[in-house]
């Protein structure tokens, strides 16, 4: 079952992580296999001093019609944190059919973004079986009572060796890689957002994963907790960050 962490305020343990010094750079539930389709949304230019949603895209996984299950969309958007704050956020996604009616909606508050970072944020959305997807609209906003000013923006995680494995058509697709910690403290429940792109650079789906625990300077492997992708991707990227459950 996909875990979504809601964090209205930053706890003591998480605040300690935010203040920790370091240096560095910067999952969906398992789904039944099926054919996929997808597309991209509009691009919004990033503005300094704001939390900005940019390119939006999606992938679709079609369920077996005989099982009476809904179809699944992975909706995702590129988010830039141009604020000086460590920012917990909510990303809400509405899925529309070609006629302009909303046929699915979901939101996530999983990631916490450090200042100056850029990452893809996504979530799974259920839509009626066989529904045609016209567009996906993303709305991103900081949670109330966001975190304090980021005094150590170089305390980060890095994703290395990220690669796509398996086959979308065969239902074995997943993304694997490693997370490297540049924190001076142990961190629990590191959120890893995964995005896949086509040859033109458009987002065509993704997934997520939580790294249960990682120590200072450690490298921990990960594999996506399921993946919704429209066709075989040209590349995939991973974006590890703090979550509301980190501590």
Mean confidence (pLDDT) of the chain = 82
Helix, strand, or coil (residue 17): helix
**Domain around 42:** 12-243
Higher pLDDT, 77 or 17: 77
Task: Kindly state whether residue 62 falls inside one of the protein's structural domains.
Answer: yes
Give pLDDT tens digits for 98-107: 999 999 999 9
Higher pLDDT, 23 or 110: 110
Q: Provide mean pLDDT across the span 35-57.
A: 60
Tokens of 96: 């529309």
Q: Please answer whether residues 87 and 146 qualify as being in contact, where contact means their C-beta atoms are separated by less than 8 angstroms.
A: yes
Q: pTM for the full model? A: 0.81
Task: Kindly state whether residue 64 falls inside one of the protein's structural domains.
Answer: yes
Task: Kindly state whether residue 21 falls inside one of the protein's structural domains.
Answer: yes
Task: Kindly state whether residue 96 falls inside one of the protein's structural domains.
Answer: yes
Q: How far apart are CA 26 and CA 178, in angstroms?
A: 12
Higher pLDDT, 170 or 56: 56
Number of domains in the chain: 1
Q: How far apart are CA 235 and CA 233, in angstroms?
A: 5
Task: Kindly state whether residue 5 falls inside one of the protein's structural domains.
Answer: no
Task: Kindly state whether residue 130 falls inside one of the protein's structural domains.
Answer: yes
Tokens of 191: 């959120």
């Amino acid at each position: 079952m996909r875990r979504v962490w809601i964090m209205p305020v930053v706890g003591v343990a998480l605040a300690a992580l935010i203040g920790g010094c370091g240096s560095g750079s910067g999952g969906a539930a398992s789904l039944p296999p099926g054919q996929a389709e997808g597309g991209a949304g509009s691009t919004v230019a990033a503005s300094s001093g704001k939390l900005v949603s940019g390119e939006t895209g999606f992938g679709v996984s079609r369920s077996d019609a005989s099982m009476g299950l809904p179809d699944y969309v992975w909706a995702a958007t590129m988010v830039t944190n141009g604020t000086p704050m460590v920012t917990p956020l909510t990303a809400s996604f509405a899925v529309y059919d070609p006629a302009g009616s909303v046929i699915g909606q979901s939101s996530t508050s999983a990631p916490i973004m450090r200042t100056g970072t850029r990452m893809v944020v996504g979530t799974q959305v259920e839509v009626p079986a066989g529904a045609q997807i016209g567009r996906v609209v993303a709305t991103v906003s900081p949670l109330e009572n966001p975190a304090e000013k980021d005094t150590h923006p170089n305390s980060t995680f890095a994703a290395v060796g990220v690669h796509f494995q398996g086959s979308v058509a065969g239902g074995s697709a997943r993304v694997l890689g490693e997370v490297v910690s540049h924190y001076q403290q142990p961190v629990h429940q590191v959120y890893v957002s995964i995005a896949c792109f086509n040859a033109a650079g458009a987002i065509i789906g993704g997934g997520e994963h939580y790294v249960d625990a990682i120590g200072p300077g450690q490298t921990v492997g990960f594999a996506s907790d399921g993946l919704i992708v429209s066709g075989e991707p040209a590349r995939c990227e991973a974006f590890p960050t703090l979550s509301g459950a980190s501590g």
